[in-house]
Amino acid sequence: MRPGAKQFFERRGAPTPPPPYDAEVDYLESTGTQWIDTGVNPQNAPTIVADMQILNSRDQDYFGNTNSGVGSESFLIVDFLKYLLFFYRYASATAVRVDYQSQGNREIWSIGKEVSVDGVLKYTSPNTYVHDANQTNIFIFKSGRGNASTFRLFSFKLYDGSFLVRDMIPVRFTNELGQSEGAMYDRVSGALFRNAGTGAFLYGNDKS
């Protein structure tokens, strides 16, 4: 046997399965009735990191869980109004206004105990998050209390304490009807997170 021939005949591992989508796209956009359930009810202090663009000045919930029937220490509700993070609830029933006006630019918001925009700290909450097993999961494009939103999302990360539990990117896939549809693909779980609402997401161009 020639040197190196053994390597040629050695059994290789199973091929990597294809991803459950057709292409990555620039962004995902809700018209106000589409939303996504991340499947995560954080056990520890949660943080959302969203690369996003605000499209209007209306009072809308962008991300979060509920403030109904659960302990207020488990709240994480992100409500924008007039391009401000206006009604931000972190581990408290009291809403806090973060005095930074976006003007509709594409920005990276990090929202948890600390709030920062493009890496610049804007606010630190004095509250401590306490997990409530009855709390809803964290939703995207609305909160667990409703009040759906319209904005563009370029990527979404969710941390449970220091652990990255969702690392989501916008994609398009072909649904059961043979139609192209927008969704979020999670790099942590390898799962495709589809629209949990009605209608269909808008989405951007394919990424090259």
- In the numeric block, the tokens 């199973």 are attached to 14
Give me the pLDDT at residue 147, please: 80
- The pLDDT score that the predictor gives to residue 9 is 45
- CB burial of 141-173 (b: ≥16 within 10 Å; e: otherwise) equals bbbbbebbbbbbbbbbbbbbeeeebbbbbbbbb
What pLDDT is stored for residue 12 in this prediction? 65
* pLDDT tens string 82-138: 999 988 999 999 999 998 988 889 999 999 999 999 999 999 999 999 999 999 999
Tokens of 207: 């990424």
Instruction: Identify the pLDDT of residue 8.
Output: 44
Q: For the beta carbon of residue 33, count every other beta carbon within 10 angstroms.
A: 15
> pLDDT category, 142, cuts 50, 70, 90?
very high
pLDDT tens track for 6-55: 444 455 677 778 899 999 999 999 999 999 999 999 999 999 999 999 99
Distance CA(50)–CA(168), nearest Å, equals 10
Give the pTM: 0.91
What are the φ and ψ backbone dihedral angles of 74, each rounded to 5 degrees? -100, 10
Q: Which helix (H) or strand (E) holds 24?
A: strand 23-24
Tokens standing for residue 170: 């916008």
Strands 151-160 and 28-29, by their bridges, are: antiparallel
Tokens 């992100």 found at: 78
Domains assigned to the chain: 19-203 (2.60.120)
What the block records as the tokens of 120 is 């610049």
Retrieve residue 117's tokens: 């925009």
5 SS3 class:
helix
Bridge partner list, 167: 157
